[in-house]
Chains A and B, each alone.
Chain A
């Protein structure tokens, strides 16, 4: 398994034992057991409604399981007590882009735990924010309204908000959704860099090919854990079809795994790219 060097220590950052989560009478996660070591970089994949976001919310203490135990960095996650040192990047679709906040105001929200009831950020908080914005290439945009940024910049703003809390575990919900290929690659490169520095990362995505190309570890979910391991081992037509309940094929192209829909509508001959490779 091509796991990062930081993952060498086997102490788990996340462990779930027999976790069942329900919203009312609807069970979303059933008897999930999963252990991820410190320093791991894991992608959660599965169809819409499979419980990916619910799993993240369970780790953050936002959802209380009806059964089972959740531990993050050795501490049991209980009701109403979010574990400290977790950074969270929500889906960009959930953000109110019309809210009157600037880049720096959003990023400083991530320091709220350490700022306590002090109404304004300290000099140290502002210095930390400045360094982080510089690192993420956002320094010149600090005073801009969040709506004025590109999709990639917006993604980095919310990543900066998560990172300024100096987390052990970074959770990202669909970080590559709705962004172009370059932005996706930039985001993934940045996450790899953070992982190399020892940060444990879990992200959800629908982009199977991005997971196959970038992530050392993947968990397939559909109400339960269908499979867990390296993409090379997990991305098989059987496992993916079981996860998505749709026919999927996996081919290897120039050393890379490529997942394709078996019954996807084919382009007309006039739309076929010239010299398509096989």
Chain B
């Protein structure tokens, strides 16, 4: 058996299992959406929000389960309110954005922990929410992931200019008629919904990495906003799929393997953008031409 046939076998074999098909599709969509929405998270310098919000939503997930409210509706509403509160508090400069995220999200997480500690006979297993359990994705979960991915893709497409202007210069965007309050609310809703469906794939503790690493890789590779969105989405999806395959064959935790795949891609992009690309550009440049000095350090 030659190498190509062996590789093909390694790719196809997991697809014979239904649960792995669902895991791969879930990782592909969640990875792509985290990459897409993460572009705005990173460019708005709110990288910490993904991390904090995932903890906040854990509190909402616990309360929803205890109160027997639909998990997706309860946790989304909880996360949406937490995200809005964070954005509003930091925008009004009542306290700094980092402090607002820290206080609101840890308080929200603490509510979940208190509920679990009070109801000692509470049997629900929140390990999956904390660390992810993509191999246990059911059809209903996959439908939720597909729905959230579809809605986010449509919203990002339709509100592309408004999201871009608000991320670049929120104050001036308001002057030019962009309803930045609505755009912030839309962003908060997208983020909350995405974190809830991503929870099962990578887990609360690792969601931030999926939101931050792909756009950071993309930023290293391009200066164009649309290209950054495209690269980040592709890197997110690629890392998700490769992570599931790697975790299957290496028998590693899936969420952590996805995160490490993205981290490995980041190292490659970092080496390329800092060491290889300057040399390639130097070779391609005609003799005597000097590069234009950059006014700001690279990201």
Interface residues, chain A, with chain B CB atoms under 8 Å away: 60-62, 80, 82, 84, 86, 88, 90, 94-102, 105-106, 108-110, 112-113, 115, 117, 119, 145, 147-148, 165
- Decide yes or no whether B127 CB sits under 8 A from chain A: no
Check A95–B176 contact: CB distance below 8 A. Answer: no
B202 CB, nearest partner CB in chain A, Å: 26
The count of chain B contact residues (Cβ–Cβ below 8 Å) is 35
Check A88–B175 contact: CB distance below 8 A. Answer: yes
- Decide yes or no whether B115 CB sits under 8 A from chain A: no
Check B176–A109 contact: CB distance below 8 A. Answer: yes
- Decide yes or no whether B210 CB sits under 8 A from chain A: no
- Decide yes or no whether B177 CB sits under 8 A from chain A: yes
Interface of A is mostly: loop
Chain A residues with Cβ under 8 A from B161's Cβ?
108-109, 112, 115, 119
Chain B residue nearest in CB terms to A145 = B223
- Decide yes or no whether B135 CB sits under 8 A from chain A: no
Chain A residues with Cβ under 8 A from B298's Cβ?
98
Name 9 interchain pairs, CB-CB below 8 A, sorted by A. Answer: A95-B169, A98-B296, A99-B167, A100-B219, A100-B222, A100-B224, A105-B225, A112-B162, A112-B165
- Decide yes or no whether B148 CB sits under 8 A from chain A: no
Given contacts A90-B169, A119-B161, contact A102 B175 (CB under 8 A): no
Check A82–B299 contact: CB distance below 8 A. Answer: no
- 9 smallest A-B Cβ distances: which pairs? A145-B223, A113-B177, A97-B296, A119-B160, A100-B225, A60-B175, A109-B165, A82-B175, A100-B228
A70 CB, nearest partner CB in chain B, Å: 14
Task: Give B205-234 as 1s and 0s: 1 = Cβ < 8 Å from A's Cβ atoms.
Answer: 000000000000001001111011000000
Given contacts A113-B176, A113-B177, A147-B294, contact A119 B157 (CB under 8 A): yes
Chain B residues with Cβ under 8 A from A147's Cβ?
223, 294-296
- Decide yes or no whether B111 CB sits under 8 A from chain A: no
Chain B residue nearest in CB terms to A154 = B295
Q: With the chains together, A88 CA to B174 CA distance in Å?
A: 11
A221 CB, nearest partner CB in chain B, Å: 21
Chain A residue nearest in CB terms to B179 = A80
Chain B residues with Cβ under 8 A from A90's Cβ?
169, 171-172
